[in-house]
Amino acid sequence: MSLLSKFRPAPSPPMDLDPEKTGRTWLITGATNGIGRELARMVAAPGRRMILPARSLERAEELASELRESGAEVDIVKLNLAHLSSVHEAAAAVRALGTDIDVMVNNAGAVTGRRVLTDDGFERILATNFLAPFAFTNLLADLVTGRIVITGSHSHKKGHVDIGDPHFEHRKWSFPVAYSQSKLADQMWATALQKRLDDAGRGVSVLTAHPGWAHTNIQNASGVPPVDTALDFVSAQFAGTSREGAMPLLEAPAGYYPALTYLGPDGWLDMWGAPGVHEASALSLSEKATDRVWELGVRETGTDLPF
């Protein structure tokens, strides 16, 4: 329990998570750790079908066993966002399940303490936070009937997506710059995706949600053990819990907000508190700019919407 927990009562989840009202089938990426795991636990209920794409099948099976005790039906799919080949294989495996998806939550991502390239030649933070989820969603978009939720961050307001050098081949890499680029790309992707879904008459809403400051394994990203230990200790004392961080991601599909709502904690500095509505940056809503980010996603992943 953190030092501040007694001063910050945990927000209660929405009262009504009836599968008939909020969607029977949910797909949640990144459900084996932290915020994604807490989200999956809150969603699990009799009558709910849950699809869990995960890098670690062992951790996914452990979680699935727990969720099945809540009465949920659970399917596990192998997915490694650092490899486009895995994204395609996972999408094919989901399609083979033969079900529509009421709610798709793109929660999985990664951080690194140095510039790392994936096998596809992508800077890893951009790959796992934007490019791979972009491709995965495109490959499954025709199955989604209700809502798509993308995990955001206030860091998008300080970000810049370098269309000409997204992988830091010619500019200096730093974690803040790489992470904020990936999160601005996510926010812009949401805007561009909503426009295309509307143009296709799909009736699907895209929302973004940020967790605030929550204690998860994202703190262990510097690559320097003493620094990671110190950051983890501070986060454990002052950050919110994973459950608190998951609340905006749960509220987004369950709270019946309009498309392109950006949700996050409404407490001090937007770090803790009950889910509230926030303003995304003006850049992330610009049609011209977001179209360019969409084109970047298509160019790098070779995927686009199927309609």
Residues tagged active-site? 179
- Asked if 286 and 300 touch (Cβ cutoff 8 Å), the reply is no
Residue 61 · residue 88 · CB < 8 Å: no
Report how far Cα 116 is from the mean position of its chain's Cα atoms. Answer: 20
Map residue 277 onto helix, strand or coil.
Answer: strand
Cβ 275 vs Cβ 11: under 8 Å? yes
Mapped onto helix, strand or coil, the DSSP state of residue 159 is coil
Q: Do 120 and 84 meet the contact criterion of CB atoms below 8 Å apart?
A: yes
Q: Which residue has the tokens 């949920």?
A: 72
Distance CA 133, CA 179 (A): 15
Q: Is the dihedral of CA 294, 270, 258, 50 positive or negative?
A: positive
Task: Give the whole-angstrom CA distance, residue 278 versus residue 262.
Answer: 5
Residue 169 CA, distance from chain mean position:
26
198 phi/psi in degrees, rounded to 5: -65, -45
Helix (H) or strand (E) holding 227, with range, is: helix 225-238
Residue (of 71, 10, 18, 28) closest to 256 by Cα position: 18
Amino acid at position 94, single letter = V
